[in-house]
Chains A and B, each alone.
Chain A
Amino acid sequence: MQSEKQSGSLTRQILQSISEASLVPFLAILTAVIVGGIVILFVGGDPILAYRGLLQGSFGSTKALSETAIWATPYIFAGLAVALAFKGGLFNIGAEGQLAVGAVVSALIGYALPEWLGFDVPAIIHLPLVVVFGVIMGGVWAGIVGALKAYTGGHEVINTIMMNYIALNTTSFLLNGVMKDRSPTNVIARTPLIADSARIPPIFEGLRVHWGFVLALLTAFFIWWLLTKTTLGFQIRTVGLNPDAAKYAGINVKRIVILTMALSGMLAGLAGVIEVSGLNYRHELGFSIGYGYDAIAIALLGKSHPLGVVLAAILFAAMRNGATRMQFLTQMPVDLISMLQAFILLFVAADAIIRYIYRIKSKGERVVLTRGWGG
């Protein structure tokens, strides 16, 4: 894009490059909305009313905006996790599991640390500990897969999925056993509430949106800085584009693969931590179902660029959040959103279809996202 001769000012160039980059995602969303509308018609609903409900529920009021931001927070972290792995040539389908183990560990530190020590821990120490341990756990969970990839060639796609199931089984085991909330009224698999000192405070009085959202935006900026302005980021991108070239350029490919995977897992773990510490104040089995796949869709929709990920995460959050209002207005089940998101992903991933439908010329650049089994 830089090579194109432009007579306009720099701002105009930037605007043009943004509009070019977002044209296909925008058309993909539009097409998905149309196809989704047809499905709604097909099952006997009113698409216009459904989509109006979706918009009202997500952006219609201060409270709706606050709730959308709450949904967006874990999406941004998990989307960044997948996007970062894509940049390093790795496909992390395991955000779900990394998120779950991060959440479990942070919940454990959150409720049990004061018990273990025997006194109330001040928030200034407790909260960072909750975050750090959750993040480390997510990093370790994904780092294992990275190490298997680097040293044995075990493919990360299958291994991250296996780690998802291992995480799911292990958390079920813990949440039904030693970590179960022992209060007499509780019958479900969840941990006790975390201490006040382990909670992230809300930004505004009376609204649920918490500082985790701000942290998510800052993290997106940090990842952008890491990828574009640092040596490590350069190494990650080089390994992602061409591991052989990276090797001959003197980059320790094995180290970068493990590090990329671990960083990705840390971001996903952070998503889990924030949900526990900022919103639910406990970990409950099954709250994270589907985050991992949504994160893939978000990363692809955002073209693995941190800013794109933030925008895509807000879009997905708005759909999830608005779904309740849509269901209230039209009796369309909330699951419609999953299908709509699948269509968006389909048209974004297969941008060739969109280019074909709308007759947009391809620039001939093909981004390599994953490689076959060989790695």
Chain B
Amino acid sequence: MDWKRFGFIALVVIVLFSAVVMIGQVKQPPLLIVTSMLATTIAVATPLTLGALSGVYCERAGVVNIGIEGMMLSSAFFGWLGSIYMFHIFKMSAGLSIALGVFFAILTGLLMALLHAVLSITFKVDQIIGGTVINILAVGLTGFLNRQLFFGKESVFGGSVPSSPGVLPTIHIPLTEIVGPICGASASCLENLTAINRVFDQKPIAMGAVLLVFFSHFLLFNTRWGLRTRAVGEHPKAADTVGISVTKMRYANVLIGGMFAGLAGAYFTIESVPSFEPLLTNGRGFISLAAMIFGNWTPIGAWAAALVFGASQAMLINMQIFRDVIPPQWAFLQESYIVGLTPYILTMFILTGIIGRTTPPAADGVPYEK
């Protein structure tokens, strides 16, 4: 990630944050706004980060994956379905049901990725078409099962949406407790520290996503596995001649990518809100692809780009909180439909390459013919 791109990301984030601070400061102190917005940014960037990582694995190995959206959607559905199935039918405890829900989401991502791998690696189907098939299949499958299971009278749930076992809990990082003593008796210092602490108090998948960014970076650029992955994505023939199985490496990476997309799906229905509605991913899978491209197919770059989108979403959420104090000349900020355009326009802007061109892996999207 070069400095130009990093500077652009920093600039956009600063602009988005200052807009909210400027409007909200009459209601809340700036530090509180910044920290709560930062916490929201990290949380809502989670599916984008994981989606972008999913793309990085697939494409570094030479398989274009535009089916991430569909993988996320189906994982969100089956993860959620799994958790309520365990909770209501098998009478498991809420905690165990939620944990198994995450497992089912990852499994669904894996299976969808297997379909993509079979289509694009074994059958050498056009990879963008293969991804589109996954997207359409996910919409059809989740829409059908959602209606059939929760609105059909003969279904196991008796024609209604059962209560969910809940969502993953927030994990408290005891920053205030550890650093607290240096504040001494100062109440404002302690207050600020509590505010900062909120940035670190995240839910498990959000925390896991950040750790996985660095893990993926290490895996791709510092291990033999990573070198082989990149080799089959850049020059599969050369990799093949030195004895690396192109097919195996591609399969493995697409499946890993699918598991990441599955975890992203779990974020929606098991970590964020305990419910499912058709089409709930709302283009997040595609935005992750844009993040991946803007991050130049590197995990850390993709994460930085995902945070930009997260920030624009956090701004939208915060604008709703400060709705009543928006000055009249900024009235358009009240319109969620208009403010909601930010990530989409940002994506198109980034793809123009004005901020620096990116280079995909050389064999990205090309089926390997021996």
List residues of A whose CB falls within 8 A of some B CB: 39, 43-44, 91, 93, 148, 152-155, 157-159, 161-166, 169-170, 172-173, 176, 290, 293, 296-297, 300, 331-336, 338-343, 345-346, 349-350, 352-353, 356, 368-374
Asked if B114 CB lies within 8 Å of chain A CBs, one says no
- A169–B340 touching, CB < 8 Å: yes
Q: Please measure, in the bound complex, the distance between the C-alpha atom of A349 and the C-alpha atom of B137, giving whole angstroms.
A: 12
- B353–A154 touching, CB < 8 Å: yes
- List chain A residues, Cβ under 8 A from B238: none
Question: A162 to chain B: closest CB distance in Å?
Answer: 4
- B141–A154 touching, CB < 8 Å: no
Q: Please measure, in the bound complex, the distance between the C-alpha atom of A333 and the C-alpha atom of B130, giving whole angstroms.
A: 26
- B147–A333 touching, CB < 8 Å: yes
- A350–B365 touching, CB < 8 Å: no
- A152–B353 touching, CB < 8 Å: yes
Report 26 cross-chain contacts, Cβ distance below 8 Å, ordered by A residue.
Answer: A43-B145, A148-B352, A154-B348, A154-B353, A157-B128, A158-B293, A162-B348, A165-B283, A166-B344, A173-B335, A173-B337, A296-B132, A332-B148, A333-B151, A336-B144, A339-B140, A339-B143, A340-B140, A343-B137, A353-B123, A368-B126, A370-B128, A372-B127, A372-B366, A373-B293, A373-B364
Q: Please measure, in the bound complex, the distance between the C-alpha atom of A166 and the C-alpha atom of B53, giving whole angstroms.
A: 25
Known contacts: A290-B139, A373-B364. The answer to whether A157 contacts B126 by CB under 8 A is no
List residues of B whose CB falls within 8 A of some A CB: 64, 66, 119, 123-130, 132-133, 135-137, 139-141, 143-148, 151-154, 282-283, 286, 289-290, 293, 335, 337-338, 340-341, 344-345, 347-348, 351-354, 357, 360, 364-366
- A170–B337 touching, CB < 8 Å: yes
- List chain B residues, Cβ under 8 A from A368: 126
In the complex, residue of chain B having the shortest beta-carbon distance to the beta carbon of A294: B136
Question: B292 to chain A: closest CB distance in Å?
Answer: 10
- List chain B residues, Cβ under 8 A from A374: 360, 364
Question: A350 to chain B: closest CB distance in Å?
Answer: 5
Q: Please measure, in the bound complex, the distance between the C-alpha atom of A163 and the C-alpha atom of B293, giving whole angstroms.
A: 18
- List chain A residues, Cβ under 8 A from B283: 161-162, 164-165
Q: Please measure, in the bound complex, the distance between the C-alpha atom of A164 and the C-alpha atom of B146, giving whole angstroms.
A: 24
In the complex, residue of chain A having the shortest beta-carbon distance to the beta carbon of B146: A335
- List chain A residues, Cβ under 8 A from B119: 349-350
In the complex, residue of chain B having the shortest beta-carbon distance to the beta carbon of A171: B337
- List chain A residues, Cβ under 8 A from B148: 43, 332-333, 335
- B125–A352 touching, CB < 8 Å: yes
Q: Please measure, in the bound complex, the distance between the C-alpha atom of A349 and the C-alpha atom of B115, giving whole angstroms.
A: 13
- List chain B residues, Cβ under 8 A from A158: 286, 289-290, 293, 347-348, 351
The 5 tightest CB contacts between A and B, nearest first, are A372-B365, A338-B140, A339-B140, A154-B351, A173-B337
Q: Please measure, in the bound complex, the distance between the C-alpha atom of A369 and the C-alpha atom of B133, giving whole angstroms.
A: 14
- B133–A349 touching, CB < 8 Å: yes
- A342–B133 touching, CB < 8 Å: yes
Question: B64 to chain A: closest CB distance in Å?
Answer: 5
- A162–B137 touching, CB < 8 Å: no
- List chain B residues, Cβ under 8 A from A170: 337, 341
- A93–B132 touching, CB < 8 Å: yes
- A342–B365 touching, CB < 8 Å: no
Known contacts: A173-B335, A290-B139, A373-B360. The answer to whether A159 contacts B348 by CB under 8 A is yes
- List chain B residues, Cβ under 8 A from A352: 123-125
- List chain B residues, Cβ under 8 A from A371: 365
In the complex, residue of chain B having the shortest beta-carbon distance to the beta carbon of A368: B126
Q: Which of A290, A349, A369 has the most CB of B within 10 A?
A: A349
- A165–B132 touching, CB < 8 Å: no
- B347–A162 touching, CB < 8 Å: yes
- List chain A residues, Cβ under 8 A from B345: 162, 166
Q: Please measure, in the bound complex, the distance between the C-alpha atom of A356 and the C-alpha atom of B127, giving whole angstroms.
A: 19
- A44–B136 touching, CB < 8 Å: no
User: Apart from A342-B139, A343-B137, what are 18 other A-B pairs with CB-CB below 8 Å?
Assistant: A43-B145, A152-B352, A153-B353, A162-B345, A165-B344, A169-B340, A296-B132, A331-B152, A339-B140, A339-B143, A339-B144, A345-B136, A346-B137, A352-B125, A353-B123, A370-B126, A370-B128, A373-B365
- List chain A residues, Cβ under 8 A from B140: 335, 338-342
Known contacts: A152-B352, A158-B289, A335-B140. The answer to whether A173 contacts B338 by CB under 8 A is yes
- A338–B144 touching, CB < 8 Å: yes
- List chain A residues, Cβ under 8 A from B341: 165-166, 169-170
Q: Please measure, in the bound complex, the distance between the C-alpha atom of A262 and the C-alpha atom of B130, giving whole angstroms.
A: 25
- List chain B residues, Cβ under 8 A from A332: 148
Q: Please measure, in the bound complex, the distance between the C-alpha atom of A91 and the C-alpha atom of B127, giving whole angstroms.
A: 12
- B344–A350 touching, CB < 8 Å: no
- List chain B residues, Cβ under 8 A from A166: 341, 344-345
- List chain A residues, Cβ under 8 A from B282: 165
Q: Please measure, in the bound complex, the distance between the C-alpha atom of A277 and the C-alpha atom of B76, giving whole angstroms.
A: 38
- List chain A residues, Cβ under 8 A from B364: 372-374
Q: Please measure, in the bound complex, the distance between the C-alpha atom of A229 and the C-alpha atom of B127, giving whole angstroms.
A: 31
In the complex, residue of chain B having the shortest beta-carbon distance to the beta carbon of A355: B123
Q: Please measure, in the bound complex, the distance between the C-alpha atom of A284 and the C-alpha atom of B115, giving whole angstroms.
A: 36
- A333–B127 touching, CB < 8 Å: no
- List chain A residues, Cβ under 8 A from B344: 162-163, 165-166, 169
Known contacts: A154-B352, A331-B152, A369-B126. The answer to whether A346 contacts B338 by CB under 8 A is no
- A333–B152 touching, CB < 8 Å: yes
In the complex, residue of chain B having the shortest beta-carbon distance to the beta carbon of A334: B147
In the complex, residue of chain B having the shortest beta-carbon distance to the beta carbon of A351: B125
Which residue of the partner chain, among B64, B125, B141, B337, contacts A373 with CB atoms under 8 Å? Answer: B64
Question: B354 to chain A: closest CB distance in Å?
Answer: 7
Q: Please measure, in the bound complex, the distance between the C-alpha atom of A166 and the C-alpha atom of B287, giving whole angstroms.
A: 13
- A349–B130 touching, CB < 8 Å: yes
- A159–B351 touching, CB < 8 Å: yes
- A338–B143 touching, CB < 8 Å: yes
In the complex, residue of chain A having the shortest beta-carbon distance to the beta carbon of B138: A342
Q: Please measure, in the bound complex, the distance between the C-alpha atom of A91 and the C-alpha atom of B353, giving whole angstroms.
A: 20
Question: A148 to chain B: closest CB distance in Å?
Answer: 6
